Chains A and B, each alone.
Chain A
Amino acid sequence: MTVQQQTRETANATNGIEGSTDERLLQAIASGKRPDPASGWSSTMAFASRALLRIKHIPEQMFDVTLFPIIFLLMFTYLFGGAIAGSTSDYLQFLLPGILVMTVAQITVYTGIDLNNDIRKGIFDRFRTLPIWLPSALIGALLVDVVRYTMASVVMIALGLMLGFRPEGGAVGVFLAIALVLVFSFSLSWIWTALGLIVRSEKSLMMMSFLVMMPLTFISNVFVDPTTLPTWLQGFVNINPISTLATAVRGFMHGMGTWQQVVNVLLVSAIMTAIFAPLTMYLYRNKT
């Protein structure tokens, strides 16, 4: 170090970092040239890989897509099977599509919870000061969530097959049914991301999801054939989007799917996305 350089540094600037700190620092700073901005696609992929890394570091996150499906399916099959349908094996044919819908719909709330956690940390501020296409932060995370939903579906169907589930729609029917579940869940997630940006804590978001999802899943055709219900309740069951999805999923798994069912599910999904995706983005950008 020349005398001149030394005097330029103030007296008590220690060479704290090992090696020829100054040179390295200056070079590292000087080589931080700005590349062309990331495309919407590459920033989405970057956020998706962040979500995957988080799963790698916090594997407990996967409990909800592995244990939940197993517990729900076993519990409801053996608890209600005898009472409602007379035989667990018959009931399983009816129940599995519905319970799949219920399970995946319920775990969509974790998308909102993750976002809510980000907000309360500084990383949210960092993302919002980056020159990126901001929706990619959410879409990237949601794409990984879709992978999680897929996993939950696979776990549940695998277990169902072991327990005696026999989908008459074959592999194609099951595949289409899962595709509908994923589209619906992706759209439903936007409700939780919007709420995740509004509510103060993840606890209140959990609460709200229970309040919304419990009646929606139980007062639907997931567990019972609605024709056994009083008329006023049937009305609710029939307009309940969970019923719409469960009907379609059941239809395709058992080889009785119709285009109308597909259109219904896509319509409900499109409505949810059209309202809550822009609302989420607005709240994300303007969160204070």
Chain B
Amino acid sequence: MKEDKKILQNNDWAIEANGLVKIYGKEAAVDGVDLAIQKGTVYGFLGPNGAGKTTTIRMLATLLPADAGSARIFGNDLVSDGAAIRKRISLTGQYASIDEDLTGIENLMLIARLMGYTRRQAKTRAMELLTAFGLDHAAKRQVKKYSGGMRRRIDIAASIVVTPDLLFLDEPTSGLDPRSRNQVWDIIRALVRTGTTVMLTTQYLEEADQLADRIGVIQRGKIIAEGTSSELKASVGRGTLNVQLVHAEDRQQAIDILEDYLGAAVHHGTDSTSLTAQADDSMRVGEALGEFARRRIEVSDFSLGRPSLDEVFLTLTGHSAEQQDSGEEIL
């Protein structure tokens, strides 16, 4: 059994971190972060502004020495095997990590040549990536003249000139419109399908939900929750029942029934026909809806959902993800 565990440790982990700490001044930007990220998975690192996401990633990418703790990337120690680690990782920073004065193709060719391609191979590779990323029309344009979405894509393209075994993406979709965001998501999914491990940071719960196999929620340098998206949702335990009534005059009666059966406060939406209530027990929901039928309260729509990650985040941190980190009332 013990041996099994050892094999698992040697072969299955892309990242193992123990108690990583980074202190700026008197404040700990990262305050004892443990991570275990399996090869071939996407890990979502979720947290509000200033939580310590970028600092953690920069430590893991050998850019910043940790003040305490240790980490191994594919079994290589962060401190002593930096060179071996850099052969297998790639980083797309939070802010453009390319030369904005150069054109798209010049940037990719530069990286390709630094990776060991010949000039001609570099050119072929650069064009191949530009085409695959839908940037071939902008190959000869300076990157500073790219749109935000194009910039993000060229930045990621630069990170996968040689497909890395582990890719760090620091807020890959911040400030992108839904279409550009979906393009980036497609790229990430394609990478994972070819076996790359991805660690991405995000402030968007939906993004973590969509992409990540496991999610770590970080706040003020500490991981406050960790698990799959469903585990995180289950840890909060409650679901939500939404009911849409046909007739507004049934409203009071419906509220009474729901409160009676679910034992929870009922909220109503902006229109007077939609009702929402916390529902821990789906059996009770069924009974409540049965009671609606008996009383001839017509329902045009209803849904019973697990809590959204947004609600999870709210429960865990006491405030929503988008809110600025402030105050001492939490935890």
Given A16-B179, A16-B186, A35-B162: A125 and B63 interface contact (C-beta under 8 Å): yes
B102 within 8 A of A: yes
Contact across chains for A28 and B99 when beta carbons are under 8 A apart = no
CB interface residues, B 86-121, toward A, < 8 Å: 86-87, 89-91, 93-103, 106, 110-111, 113-117, 121
Contact across chains for B99 and A123 when beta carbons are under 8 A apart = yes
CB interface residues, A 25-74, toward B, < 8 Å: 25-38, 42-43, 45-47, 49-50, 53-54, 57-58
Instruction: State in angstroms the CA–CA spacing of A286 and B121 once bound together.
Output: 32
A21 within 8 A of B: yes
Contact across chains for B102 and A53 when beta carbons are under 8 A apart = yes
Contact across chains for B116 and A35 when beta carbons are under 8 A apart = yes
A12 within 8 A of B: yes
Nearest Cβ on chain A to B214's Cβ, whole angstroms: 17
**B62 — which chain A residues lie within 8 A by C-beta?**
128-129
B293 within 8 A of A: no
Contact across chains for A13 and B116 when beta carbons are under 8 A apart = no
B193 within 8 A of A: yes
Instruction: State in angstroms the CA–CA spacing of A45 and B190 once bound together.
Output: 33
Given A35-B162, A36-B116: A27 and B65 interface contact (C-beta under 8 Å): no
**B160 — which chain A residues lie within 8 A by C-beta?**
29, 32
Contact across chains for B163 and A131 when beta carbons are under 8 A apart = no
Nearest Cβ on chain A to B58's Cβ, whole angstroms: 7
Contact across chains for B97 and A14 when beta carbons are under 8 A apart = no
Contact across chains for A50 and B162 when beta carbons are under 8 A apart = no
**A131 — which chain B residues lie within 8 A by C-beta?**
83, 86-87, 115
Contact across chains for A130 and B86 when beta carbons are under 8 A apart = yes
Instruction: State in angstroms the CA–CA spacing of A58 and B121 once bound together.
Output: 27
A203 within 8 A of B: no
A17 within 8 A of B: yes
Contact across chains for B186 and A21 when beta carbons are under 8 A apart = yes
Contact across chains for B98 and A126 when beta carbons are under 8 A apart = yes
B235 within 8 A of A: no
CB interface residues, B 206-255, toward A, < 8 Å: 210
Instruction: State in angstroms the CA–CA spacing of A246 and B63 once bound together.
Output: 42
Contact with A along B38-51 (1 / 0, CB 8 A): 00000000000000
Name the CB-closest residue of B to A54. Answer: B101
Contact of A29 among B65, B102, B163, B179 (CB under 8 A): B163
Contact across chains for B142 and A30 when beta carbons are under 8 A apart = no
**B121 — which chain A residues lie within 8 A by C-beta?**
35
**B190 — which chain A residues lie within 8 A by C-beta?**
22, 25-26, 29
Nearest Cβ on chain A to B110's Cβ, whole angstroms: 5
Instruction: State in angstroms the CA–CA spacing of A57 and B144 once bound together.
Output: 11
B132 within 8 A of A: yes
**B158 — which chain A residues lie within 8 A by C-beta?**
126
Can you pick out 9 interface pairs between chain A and chain B where the beta carbons lie within 8 Å of each other? A14-B186, A21-B134, A25-B186, A28-B128, A33-B163, A57-B103, A121-B95, A131-B86, A286-B65
Chain A contact residues, CB within 8 Å of chain B: 9-10, 12-18, 21-22, 24-38, 42-43, 45-47, 49-50, 53-54, 57-58, 121-123, 125-132, 286, 288
Could you list 9 further interchain pairs (A-B, Cβ under 8 angstroms) beyond the known A14-B179, A24-B132, A286-B65?
A17-B134, A26-B190, A29-B190, A32-B125, A32-B163, A33-B163, A34-B116, A38-B116, A132-B114
